[in-house]
Amino acid sequence: MNGLLILLIIVLLGVAAWQLSKIFSLTQIGTAKDDSAIATDKDNNINGYLMFAFVAFIYIFTIYSFVKWGSFVLDTPASLHGKDVDRLMNISMAIIFFVQTFTQFLLHYFAFKYRGKEGQKALYFADNNKLEAIWTIIPVIVLAVLILYGLYTWNQIMYVNEDEEVINIELYAKQFGWEARYSGEDNTLGKANVRYIKDVNTLGVDMADPASQDDKVVGEIHLPVGKKIHFRMRSQDVLHSAYMPHFRAQMNCVPGMVTEFAFVPTLTTEDMRGTAMMMKKVDGINKIRAKKSQALLAEGKPALEPYKFDYLLLCNKICGASHYNMQLKIIVESEADYKKWLKEQKTLSVVIKEANAPKVDPAANPADAKVVVDTTKMLAQVVGKN
Amino acid sequence: MSHDHGHHKDTFITKYIFSIDHKMIAKQYLISGLLMGIIGVVLSLFFRMQLAWPEQSFEIFKIFLGEKMAPGGVMRNDIYLALVTIHGTIMVFFVLTAGLSGTFSNLLIPLQIGARDMASGFMNMLSFWMFFVSCIVMIASLFVESGPASAGWTIYPPLSAIEEAIPGSGMGMTLWLVSMAIFIASSLMGSLNYIVTVINLRTEGMTMTRLPLTVWAFFVTAIIGVISFPVLFSAALLLIFDRSFGTSFYLSDIFIKGEVLHYQGGSPVLFEHLFWFLGHPEVYIVLLPALGITSEVIATNSRKPIFGYRAMIASIIAIAFLSTIVWGHHMFISGMNPFLGSVFTFTTLLIAIPSAVKAFNYITTLWKGNLQLNPGMLFSIGLVSTFITGGLTGIILGDSTLDINVHDTYFVVAHFHLVMGISALYGFFAGVYHWFPRMFGRMMNKTQGYIHFWVTAVCAYGVFFPMHFIGMAGLPRRYYTNSNFPLFDELADTNVLITVFALVGSAFQLVFFWNFFYSIFRGKKAPMNPWRSNTLEWTAPVEHMHGNWPGEIPAVHRWPYDYSKPGHDEDFVPQNVPMKDGEVELHH
């Protein structure tokens, strides 16, 4: 299939090259003797018209892109500050599109309009301070507005008011997965360092710290809607980036330091699933998946699961071979549901106690040890193969 | 520089290999840059194929990547990252820095300012050969057992520092660092030479305000290079220390493969600061020479003075100055203090002002001109077009608030490829088409040039325009495949389209290569001044000779942009033509 596709592309390329050279040579008929390597009036004419066609191409391609791919763009922010981000984005985009449309037109239209002709004399026009002032001052004003608006929003987002009531959650990154730590009853995260990592204490929480006792480590994030969540990010190995596109939130996870980002989720997972935009998107995706499933079934492979929308935490900083598969589900729910879920989670101190509890069957011990050795060996083999 | 340069008897070795003649060194840079360009582009096609048709088997991977990198013809996921890394490194440093600047600074600075050669011919030769060695080391890194460097062209530690994190951070990364250290030394020698030459060796009458804008651009570029490259050198040196001697400049609290490493107290954020202190000016090191070339080509082919000569110089200097104080916009979400983010947003968005001035000046130069649409001119106009399209999205990425959500997505990939990749490449092509007669004494075929331009122009938009949309969908860059996220399933077709455009666009570069190499040997013999240009390089004989001019160096009497000046019969007045009685220099 691929070989065929590549062959097809090569054939099409050949045809295109042949046709293009034919067009160019055909247009030279009137001046058959002209084999100059410098543009003639004829060349100026053709390329002038092509310049005009090119600005049309840019416009049409832009419109096509919006119609065809406009729905890809993240819509309906799921966080409080996301609305401000999107508003600023829309304003910037509007300015960009205006400038793009206008300047591309001028550039290509002039290239067409003033294409060289025998006897045409160019205007000796070297300088004009008024014009220079105009296109210095207008960008200055526009950018001043954008900068001020941008900085205002940035300050709103990035500085967390210390007195505000927040829920403290730690996002913990490692090759290639995420974990999260909830701060428990005291709403304070216990101290942690990779040097404390041991067995089930995978985040290196310092269990000597009283604040650590009620911390809960989980493999799925639940957030109550409408509450400010203060994330603190850590990484145990390389740089990662905690990217939550639907919440317009992102912050790098840096080994050796704690970074922060806070936001208020405003739409529960169910709310988001119910928006018209998302229903349409999921519908489209499921159509694609159904088609793929048919192909898979034909090959005797299992079909794909139908897609259901969930908020995601993705890694967005190159972090190693499996960087492309480092994700965690985020569930936004009502405060009651959130509290219920959190209650069900065991605190880290309990988890550690259970893990260290003496085994009931003494005969199992040597067997356990053996199993451990075996897994290490197997791991080593797997690593070696990679 | 003495006049007896022309009397040396050249052997093959001194003429073509260890040449100290700037024109020959320029050609050496050009050919090496083009060859590196082929490698860089082919690598990108490989990973584009993986993105369009994920984890499928390709015969071509079996041949070029081999069983180890692509078992059964399916590209391995860490090799994908290696290809991305080496593609970026080669294109940014080896093609668009050394290839572009090395070729045209060397060729044009002495010829356009009226000098017999560079200030130090020997250092110039050394600069090229160190560049050549760095190319060899970089290419060699593709063949090491554990694979080439795979931490991205930005080589952020700890990923680049710890072999356990990714195999490419072993021997591959060591060679990468060695290659770049040699490259930086080469680049510094080149830059110092350019600066000294421009300051000291201008011919009689060639004041700074009579310099062609090309020379201004090369001059300022060299200054930025001298300021910023040493910082990358220090960054690389400290990284070498962390990697090999157990220091902790960038590393702290690392637990990997079940073990705690001894590093403590370092910070990767420090590396990011040092890297981008070069990394951002680097963008302008790539772009300014292309803009300089464009200024010259547009003015000559419009048969009009470049509009706002002094504003152009001012904006080059403004861009250069600002470029050294904006690096933090790559780090808005790195964990640095948000206040710093505010400062960098402010300085970054300021760059839009001199950029806008440049764009409008180019457009005004076209207005009421008599445009000779030669291939070089088409690429120059194309540059202005992609510079605008790519530059405008910089307003979004430079705004810290908006950067939060598009940082490291395909939106960024679209932005920088258009504004510095494609634009600089167009500048490169414009320069090659325009100065080919000066370099090889022959003309390139214009029809093939036209085909090359129009297909490239369409494909460049075809590749990078859709990337804005998949970026705004939240698709991160440097993902081996998107198939692990059902959310991104709808983007698959777009990825195929992008790859097809990339394949077609790249295939048509063969037209250029054919045209280039064929014309070196078989092209039409070039007249002395084919584009009827004003600058001094066209007053020197076509034949290769040391010292550039057989007799006296011409003296300069006017600025380089007296095109279609009233009171003259021809539509160009070369710089060495004395002023007529009562004629005034109008641009002052």
Local mean pLDDT, 10-residue blocks, chain A (386 residues): 60 72 61 70 95 96 94 93 95 96 97 92 90 93 94 91 88 95 92 92 93 93 96 96 96 95 96 94 94 91 92 95 95 96 94 84 49 43 42
3-state secondary structure of B23: helix
What ipTM did this prediction achieve? 0.93
* Domain assignment of residue B223, yes or no: no
Cβ-based contacts of A130 with chain B (< 8 Å)? none
- Averaged pLDDT in 10-residue chunks for chain B of 588 residues: 52 81 95 96 96 94 92 94 97 95 96 95 95 97 93 95 93 96 96 97 94 97 95 95 94 93 94 95 95 97 95 96 94 93 94 95 96 96 97 95 96 96 97 96 95 96 96 96 93 95 96 96 92 95 85 93 92 93 74
Bridge partners (DSSP) listed for residue A330: A221, A311
- Asked if B382 and B461 touch (Cβ cutoff 8 Å), the reply is no
| pLDDT given for residue A24 in this prediction | 67
Q: Length of chain A in residues, anyone? A: 386
Bridge partners (DSSP) listed for residue A198: A201
Q: Which domains does chain A possess?
A: 12-28+39-117 (no CATH), 166-274+303-356 (2.60.40.420)
A245 lies within 8 A of chain B by CB? yes
Distance separating alpha carbons of residues B17 and B20, to the nearest angstrom: 9
Distance separating alpha carbons of residues B108 and B213, to the nearest angstrom: 11
Bridge partners (DSSP) listed for residue A249: A244
Comparing alpha-carbon positions, the chain B residue that sits nearest to A326 is B484
A53 lies within 8 A of chain B by CB? no
| pLDDT given for residue A360 in this prediction | 65
Note if the bond before A176 is cis, omega within 30 degrees. Answer: yes
Residue A191: other Cβ atoms inside 10 A: 14
- Asked if A332 and A265 touch (Cβ cutoff 8 Å), the reply is yes
* Domain assignment of residue B513, yes or no: no
Distance separating alpha carbons of residues B236 and B248, to the nearest angstrom: 13
Name the token pair of B132: 């050549």
Domain tally, chain B: 1
The closest alpha carbon to B369, from A135, A125, A40, belongs to A125
B494 lies within 8 A of chain A by CB? yes
Distance separating alpha carbons of residues B373 and B542, to the nearest angstrom: 24
Pairing type for strands A177-182 and A327-333 reads: unpaired
The closest alpha carbon to B153, from B300, B13, B276, belongs to B276
* Domain assignment of residue B259, yes or no: no
- Crossing angle of helices B352-366 and A129-158, in 10° steps, is 150
Comparing alpha-carbon positions, the chain B residue that sits nearest to A305 is B486
Q: Which of A1, A38, A61 is most worth mutating to test chain B (most B CB atoms within 10 A of its CB)?
A: A38
Smallest CA–CA separation between B55 and chain A, in Å? 12
Bridge partners (DSSP) listed for residue A241: A252
Q: In the 8-state DSSP scheme, what is residue A181?
A: E
What ranges in B114-262 are assigned the alpha helix state H?
121-140, 171-200, 213-245
Taking a contact as any Cβ pair under 8 Å apart, which residues of chain B between 447 and 476 contact chain A?
Answer: 447-448, 450-451, 454-455, 457-458, 461-462, 465-466, 468-470, 472-474, 476
* Domain assignment of residue B153, yes or no: yes
The closest alpha carbon to B310, from A132, A238, A295, belongs to A132
The DSSP string of A281-294 is HHHHHHHHHHHHHH
Smallest CA–CA separation between B151 and chain A, in Å? 7
Bridge partners (DSSP) listed for residue B148: B172
Distance separating alpha carbons of residues B70 and B79, to the nearest angstrom: 8
B265 lies within 8 A of chain A by CB? yes
- Asked if B96 and B419 touch (Cβ cutoff 8 Å), the reply is no
Name the token pair of B147: 């694979």
Q: What angle do CA B95, B99, B105 make, to 5 degrees?
A: 145
Can you give the residue range of the structural domain that contains B150?
22-203
Comparing alpha-carbon positions, the chain B residue that sits nearest to A56 is B458
* Domain assignment of residue B363, yes or no: no
| pLDDT given for residue A248 in this prediction | 96
- Crossing angle of helices B492-507 and B509-522, in 10° steps, is 10
Smallest CA–CA separation between A360 and chain B, in Å? 28
3-state secondary structure of A233: strand
Distance separating alpha carbons of residues A252 and A141, to the nearest angstrom: 33
Q: In the 8-state DSSP scheme, what is residue A195?
A: G
Q: Which of A66, A159, A232, A252 is most worth mutating to test chain B (most B CB atoms within 10 A of its CB)?
A: A252
Smallest CA–CA separation between B583 and chain A, in Å? 14
The DSSP string of A24-44 is HHHTTGGGTT---SS--HHHH
Q: How far is CA A13 from CA A385, B457, B462, B496, in A?
A: 41, 15, 16, 17
* Domain assignment of residue B231, yes or no: no
3-state secondary structure of A235: strand
The closest alpha carbon to B190, from B136, B122, B114, B139, belongs to B122
* Domain assignment of residue B330, yes or no: no
- Asked if A314 and A245 touch (Cβ cutoff 8 Å), the reply is yes
Pairing type for strands B255-256 and A240-244 reads: unpaired
Q: What angle do CA A217, A260, A340 make, to 5 degrees?
A: 35
Backbone angles phi, psi at A240, to 5 degrees: -130, 170
Distance separating alpha carbons of residues B12 and B92, to the nearest angstrom: 32
**Cross-chain Cβ contact B458/A73 below 8 Å:** no
CB nearest to B158's CB, from A17, A35, A237:
A237
A161 lies within 8 A of chain B by CB? no
Residue A206: other Cβ atoms inside 10 A: 14
**Cross-chain Cβ contact B444/A249 below 8 Å:** no
Smallest CA–CA separation between A72 and chain B, in Å? 5
Q: How many CB pairs under 8 A join A and B?
A: 413
**Cross-chain Cβ contact A116/B524 below 8 Å:** no
Contacts of B377 (CB under 8 A, 6+ apart): A39, B297, B298, B301, B371, B430
pLDDT tens-digit series, residues A118-143: 888 999 998 899 999 999 999 999 99
Distance separating alpha carbons of residues A328 and A304, to the nearest angstrom: 19
- Asked if A247 and A263 touch (Cβ cutoff 8 Å), the reply is yes
Torsion angle (degrees, nearest 10) of CA A62, A64, A65, A66? 90
CB nearest to A17's CB, from B443, B451, B462:
B451
Taking a contact as any Cβ pair under 8 Å apart, which residues of chain B between 72 and 91 contact chain A?
Answer: 76-78, 81
- Asked if B225 and B217 touch (Cβ cutoff 8 Å), the reply is no
Q: Which residue is listed with tokens 């760059």? A: B351
B352 lies within 8 A of chain A by CB? yes
Taking a contact as any Cβ pair under 8 Å apart, which residues of chain B between 509 and 568 contact chain A?
Answer: 511, 523-524, 526, 530-531, 561, 563-566
Burial per residue of A98-132, b for 16 or more beta-carbon CB atoms within 10 angstroms, e otherwise: ebbeebbbbbbbbbbebbbeeebebbbbbbeeebb
The closest alpha carbon to B563, from B366, B384, B291, belongs to B366
* Domain assignment of residue B187, yes or no: yes
Burial classification of residue B224, based on how many CB atoms lie within 10 Å of its CB (0-12 exposed, 13-18 middle, 19 or more buried): buried
Q: Length of chain B in residues, anyone? A: 588
Distance separating alpha carbons of residues B265 and B252, to the nearest angstrom: 5
AA identity, residue B569? D
B173 lies within 8 A of chain A by CB? no
Cβ-based contacts of B369 with chain A (< 8 Å)? 110, 114, 122-123
Cβ-based contacts of A136 with chain B (< 8 Å)? 353, 356-357
- Asked if A314 and A173 touch (Cβ cutoff 8 Å), the reply is no
**Cross-chain Cβ contact A197/B255 below 8 Å:** yes
